[in-house]
Amino acid sequence: MATAEPRSAGASFEFEGRTIPSGADDTIASALFRAGVRTFSRSFKYHRRRSLYCLSGDCPNCLMTVDGEPAVRTCVTPAASVRRVARGAGWPSADRDALSILWRLRWLMPVGFYYKSMIRPRWLFPIAERVIRRIAGLGPVPREPSESAKERLNHHPDVLVIGGGIAGLAAALAAADGGERVLLVDEGAIGERIAPGALRDRIGVLRDAFARHASASILERATAFGIFEGPLVPVIDADFLHLVHPARIVVATGAVERHAVFPGNDLPGVWLGRGASRLAGVHGLSPGRAIVVATNTAEGLLHLDVLHRNVTRQGGGAVVAAVVPASLASGVPAGIEVIADGTVVEASGSGALRSVVVEAAGRRRTLRCDALVLSLGLEPRDGLLRQAEFEAVLGAGDVARPGCSAEEAEDDGRRTAGAAVPEPAAASSQSSAPQLGSAEGFVCLCEDVAVEEFEHAWDEGYRSTELLKRYSTVTMGACQGALCHAHLKAFVRQRSPGSWTGSPTRARPPARTVRLEDLAAGARVPLEHHTSLHERHVASGALMDWAGTWKRPSNYGDVAQEYRAVRERVSVMDVSTLGKYRVAGPDATALLEHIYPCHVGDLKPWRSRYTLLLNEAGYLLDDGMVCKLGDGSYYVTFTSSGGDGAESWLRDWTDERGLTVHIANVTASRSAINVAGPRARELLSRLSSDACDAQAIPYGGLREMVVAGVNCLVIRVAFVGELSFELHHASRQSEALWDSLLDAGREFDMLPHGLDALKLLRLEKGHILIGQDTDFDTTPSKVGLDFAVKMSKPDFVGRTALERIAKLPRERSLLPMTFAGARAPEEGAQLFADGAHVGNVTSSRWSPALDCGVALGWVRHPDGAPPSRVMARDTIGHTEGVVTKGPFYDPKGERLRA
C-alpha cells in the first residue's frame, strides 16, 4: 500500500511546481497524500502545520487554492478536472513557515489579547495592523477574476431529501413509494465516501430502488446550504443554482465524528475514523505505518476493520494498537494489541505525530505511532436542520439520532414518509456532551482555540455561549462550528448548569460556504428600464444616463443648441418615462379628490390641472397632471421615478376607503413625446389635419388628435416654459411618430432635447424637480407651491398636517437665486449669509436667457425673513448671489399660454 501511483491511471495537476498524478476516484487531497504531501495547510492564528483529518469536508485543514480559487475543500473536490493547486498561507512556504514561531509566542497571545494590547501609544496599532493585514487570510484572492455564470432552476418537489446516506435514501425511497415527487441531493456522489462493504452495497441497493421511480430525481455533487423561509432551499451544483421549493424537507446530513480535545490533537497524523477509513478503503492509502485506533463505538470497530484489512493486505503499514472499552475488546481483530478502557491523553511529535500517551487503569503508556485514528462518537451535522424555524422539516438518521445503527437509520428514514412534523424542528441530540479533556488541546482548528482559552475567558466574565464565541472566535471559522460547537455548549453547561447562557448559538446560513458567483446566479434583475424610443436615442448618439431605474438621454451632443431649439424654434423630447395611469369608475372623482390637495370635482372634461401628491404628514410625495376625459374618467401622470410609488398610493387609498375605482398602469403601453417651442403648433399642423389652435386646445386643455397617422392624446403642458404639447400615444407607434416629427421638424431646424437642456429650461421657469429639490419633509409652502393646495377643500390627504404646520413659523425655504458672476455655482454648493452657513444649492445652471447663473437652494431662516444676499461655496470657489422671486424666465407665463 501507500504506493506512489494511483490505482487507475488518469489525469494530473500541478502542485507548487510538482506534477501530481491522480486516479479516477481521487480527490485532490487523496492524490496529494499519495504523492507524499503531509502539510496541507497552516493554521489561522499560530501557523501550525495541519494535515488531513476528517476527509468529509467538515474541518478547515485541507483548504487550498485550486485553479486560482482560494479556500477550496480539497478532500471533497475530485481531482479529475483540476489544473493547479497551491497551499494558501505560509511564508516562505507552507512546508517551512517562518510564522510558525507564533506558536512559541502564544503566551503573548492569550484569548482576547488584542483587546488588551497596543492601546498606548496610539501610533502603535496602525503599524501592527499593517503587519496583521499582511499575514491574515486563508489564501490570496484571485488575480484574474472570472465569473462563471450559472443559471437558476426552480424545483417544486413534494419532498426534498438532503443527504444520500442510508437514512436519506430510505426516506426518499419511502416517499417515492408513497407516490410523492422526491428530489434527493447529496453534496458528494452517493456512497463514494463509504469504504466497500455491506454498508456501501446497501446504499447501492436503496439508490437503485429509488432511481427506478419515475417521480424520483437525484442531484449529486450538489450542496444544499440553507433552509430559508418558504421553505426555500438553494442547492448548488456544477452547472446550476437550484432553487428548491419543497412541500416538506427531510434532512439526513449525518454526523461528524466527535473532535477529541487533548494536547497535540491537531498534529498531522491524527485522524477522524471515517476519514482514515475512507483513505484506506476508498483511496487505497494508509494513514500511516504504525496506526493506533481509539474508539468507543461499534462504528469505530468497522473503521478499525477497514484499516486493518486494507493496510495490512497491501503492506503499507499496520494497526498496532486499539484503545477500546473492555466491552468492545472482542471486536478487535487478532494481532492488534488491545488497551482496554484507555483514554488518549496526549499526542506528540514535532510537526507530525510520533507517539501518543494513553491512560488506562491509572497508568500512562506511550505508544510509538505515526497515525492516531479517533472514532469517539458523533456530533450531528445539523447546521441545516437548526436553520429551520417554521418549515416542515424532519431529521433522519445520524443528524437526528447520532450514533444510530445503519438499520436504525434506515428505519428512521422510512418513518419520515407521512410522519407528522415536530415543531419546532430541532435536532434531538442523543449523544452525551463531549469531554473537554485537557486545557491545552485545540477545541477549534479554524481559529486555534484551546480549552484553556475558554477557561481564561470564563474567568474574565464572558459567561455564555454567545459571549464566549465572540470573545474567543470559536465556531466562527471556516468549519461553521462543525467540530467545536458541541464543545462550546458543553463547556458553558458544565460551568453554569441549567442557565440560559448555555443555549446553542444561532444557526445561520450557509451551512456550507458558497461562492458569491453561485449565489449571484440569476440575481441580476434587469432593473434598467428603456422607453420605446431607446434605440432611436442610442442611434442618434445620445449620451444616456440613469434616471432612477430608467436610462434616458442626457443630451444629443450639444446642450446649448438643444436649449435654443426649444426657446427659439421647436424641439421634441421623449417623456415616456412619466408615470401614466387611467383612473376610472364610479368613485374615481372621490378618490382623486381625496388624494390631491387641488380641486378635481370642478374639472371640466378635456381640461387638466397640475397636481401635488402629499402624504399624511403634509410632505410632498410627487407631482404630476390630472386630465379629465369624461365623467368619472381620468388620465393622470406622475414623475418618472415617482410613478410606482404613486400607483401604490392610489391603490392603498382605494382599498382604505372602500372605493370602486379601476386603475390601469399604462406607463409602458403608452409613450409620450413633448413637442415644445414657439413653433410647436406649426409643426403639429404639418402632421395633423386636426385643429390645434388655442381655441381647439387652450392652455390647460387637452384633446385627441391624429398626428402623422398616430392617435394621440395631446395635453398642453408648461414645464419648459414654452408652448408645449405632450403627445401621449401607443408605445408601438412611438418610433413612427418620433421619425415623422423629426422629419417634419427639418423645416424648423428642429433638434430633440435631453435631460440636460430640460433641467435648464425648467430651472429658468423656477419649476422644482421632486427628489432633486425636495426632501422627504418638504411641504408645499416651503417650495412655493401653495397655489396647488386648496385649504378650502374640507378634506384631502395631508390637510390636517398642513393646517398644523401653517401655525408654526417657517424656518426653511427653497428659494430662487441669481448669480451675476462669471459662472453659476455647482449643484451641491453650500450657502452662507453674513458668514453663517444657511443652506445648499439643489439646482443650478447658467441661464443664456438671463445671462446669469440661476439656482434654487434651501435656506434656513429660523429668525424670520430669509437673507437677501447669499454666498455660494463649491469645489471651485465662491460666487455671490441674490435671492429673488421666480420664475426667472417669462415671469407672466405669456409664452407658454400662447
Partner 1 sequence: MPGLLSRDVHLPERTLASHYDVIVIGGGGHGLATAYYLAKDHGVRNVAVLERSYIGSGGTGRNTTVLRANYKTPETIKFYKASFDLYRTLSAELDYHTLRSERGLLWMAHSEAQANSQRERALQNQVYDVDTVYLNAAEVHEVCPQLDMSCGGRRPIWGAAYHLPGGIIRHDAVVWGYATAASRLGVQVHQGVPVTGMVMEKGRCTGVRTPSGVISAGAVVSAVGGYVTQITDMVGLKIPIITHPLQAFVTQSYQPVLDRVVASADLHIYVSQSARGEMLVGAEIDPYTSYSTRSTFTFAASTAARAIDLFPFMAKLRLLRQWTGICDMTPDYSPLLGPTPIDGFYLSTGWGTWGFKAIPIGGKAMAELVATKRVPEIIAPLGLDRFALDRCVSERASAGTH
Cβ burial of 745 (10 Å; 0-12, 13-18, 19+) is buried
| Residue 694 touching partner 1 (CB under 8 A) | no
Burial environment of residue 575 by CB neighbours within 10 A (0 to 12, 13 to 18, 19 or more): buried
* Cβ pair 77, 62 in contact under 8 A: no
| Residue appearing with cell numbers 428548491 | 244
Please give the residues from 774 up to 833 whose contact with partner 1 meets the rule CB under 8 A.
775-777, 779, 804-805, 808, 811, 826-830
Using CB under 8 A, pick the residue from 3, 115, 239, 803 that binds partner 1.
Answer: 115
Q: Which of 71, 421, 659, 742 binds partner 1 (CB under 8 A)?
A: 71
Which residue type occupies 40?
F
Listing DSSP states for 419-446 in one string gives: PPPPSS------SPPPP---TTSEEETT
User: Which one of the spans 68-76, 317-325, 648-656, 698-706 is the region binding partner 1 (CB under 8 A)?
Assistant: 68-76
> From residue 827, how far is each of 641, 707, 830, 856 by CA, in Å?
20, 39, 9, 9
For partner 1, the binding residues in 90-109 under the rule CB under 8 A are: 107-108
| Residue 582: exposure state from Cβ atoms within 10 A (0-12, 13-18, ≥19) | middle
Range 865-884, binding partner 1 (CB under 8 A): 873-875
Residue 334 or residue 525: which is nearer to partner 1 going by CB? 525
- What distance in Å separates the CA atoms of residue 713 and residue 730, rounded to the nearest whole number? 10
Least Å from the CB of residue 328 to partner 1: 39
Count of other CB atoms within 10 angstroms of residue 800: 13
* Shortest separation between residue 26's beta carbon and partner 1, angstroms: 23
Q: Which of residues 394-413 bind partner 1 (CB under 8 A)?
A: none
Residues 611 and 597: their CA atoms lie apart, in Å, by: 7
Q: How many residues contact partner 1, by CB under 8 A?
A: 103
140 or 891: CB nearest partner 1: 140
- In the shown chain, the binding pattern of residues 546 to 565 toward partner 1, with x for contact by CB under 8 A and - for none, equals xx------x-----------
Nearest distance from residue 274's CB to partner 1, in Å?
A: 24
The secondary structure of residue 353, as a DSSP letter, is -
Q: Quote the least distance from Cβ 212 to partner 1, whole Å.
A: 33
Q: Is the peptide bond before 809 cis (omega within 30 degrees of 0)?
A: no
Q: Quick one: which segment of 77-85, 132-140, 319-327, 432-440 binds partner 1 (CB under 8 A)?
A: 132-140
CA–CA gap between residue 92 and residue 102 (Å, rounded): 15
Considering beta carbons, is residue 129 or 747 the nearer one to partner 1?
A: 129
Nearest by Cα to 57 from 245, 253, 197: 253
Q: For residues 463 and 453, what is the distance between their CA atoms, to the nearest angstrom?
A: 13
- Helix (H) or strand (E) holding 837, with range, is strand 836-847
140 binds partner 1 (CB under 8 A): yes
User: Could you tell me the smallest distance in angstroms from the CB atom of residue 762 to partner 1?
Assistant: 15
Residue 412 sits at φ, ψ, to 5 deg, of -60, -45
Give, as ranges, the residues between 602 and 661 that touch partner 1 (CB under 8 A).
Answer: 617
Alpha-carbon 536 to chain mean position: 36
* Residue 748 or 819 having the CB closest to partner 1: 819
Give the contacts of 706 (CB within 8 A, at least 6 positions apart): 688, 689, 690, 712
| Euclidean distance between CA atoms 710 and 593, whole angstroms | 32
Taking the least distance from each CB to partner 1, the nearer of 330 and 875 is 875
Q: Which of 91, 125, 699, 846 binds partner 1 (CB under 8 A)?
A: 125
Whether residue 862 is preceded by a cis peptide bond, meaning omega within 30 degrees of 0, is: no
In the region spanning residues 569 to 598, those forming contacts with partner 1, defined by CB under 8 A, are none
For residue 891, with 0-12 CB atoms within 10 Å meaning exposed, 13-18 middle and 19 or more buried, which class applies? exposed
144 to 163: interface string for partner 1, x by CB under 8 A: -xxxx---------------
Q: Among 516, 539, 822, 865, which residue sits at the site for partner 1 (rule: CB under 8 A)? A: 516
- Closer to partner 1 by Cβ: residue 226 or 300: 226
Q: Which is nearer to partner 1, 669 or 800 (CB)?
A: 800
CB of 827 to partner 1, least distance (A): 4
| Shortest Cβ 581–partner 1 spacing (Å) | 22
- Complex with partner 1: residue 33 or 619, whichever CB lies closer: 619
> Rule CB under 8 A: is residue 392 a binding residue for partner 1?
no
Q: Rank residues 273 and 477 by Cβ distance to partner 1 and give the closer one.
A: 477
As a whole number of angstroms, the distance between CA 618 and CA 804 comes to 10
Nearer to partner 1, 484 or 584 (CB): 484
Q: Of the two residues 534 and 679, which places its CB atom closer to partner 1 in the complex?
A: 534
* CB 48 to partner 1: min, Å: 16
Question: Which residue lies nearer to partner 1 by CB, 420 or 516?
Answer: 516
- Position 116, amino acid: K
Among the listed residues 389, 452, 647, 786, the single contact to partner 1 using CB under 8 A: 389
Of 118 and 209, which CB lies nearer to partner 1 in the complex structure? 118
Nearer to partner 1, 420 or 836 (CB): 836
Q: Can you tell me whether residue 144 is helix, strand or coil?
A: coil
Q: Closer to partner 1 at the Cβ: 70 or 821?
A: 70
* Residues 167-226, interacting with partner 1 (CB under 8 A): 226
Spatial CB neighbours of 794, under 8 Å, sequence gap ≥ 6: none
Stretch that binds partner 1, among 180-188, 298-306, 505-513, 713-721 (CB under 8 A): 505-513
889 binds partner 1 (CB under 8 A): no
From the CB of 560, what's the least distance to partner 1, in Å? 18
Report in angstroms how near the CB of residue 346 gets to partner 1 at its nearest.
Answer: 25
CB of 86 to partner 1, least distance (A): 13
DSSP track, 50-118: E----SSS-SSTTEEEETTEEEEEGGGSBSTT--EEEE-S-SB-SSSBGGGHHHHTGGG--TTHHHHSS
State the minimum distance, in angstroms, from the CB of residue 387 to partner 1. 9
Tell me how long the chain is: 898
Smaller CB distance to partner 1: residue 391 or 593? Answer: 391
Within 22-51, which residues bind partner 1 (CB under 8 A)? Answer: 44
Q: Does 229 bind partner 1 (CB under 8 A)?
A: yes
H or E, element range at 474: none
- 8 Cβ neighbours under 8 A, 6+ residues apart: 23, 24, 25
834 binds partner 1 (CB under 8 A): no
The residues near 847 (Cβ < 8 Å, ≥ 6 apart) are 760, 763, 764, 824, 853, 854, 888, 889
User: Shortest distance, CB of residue 523 to partner 1, whole angstroms?
Assistant: 4
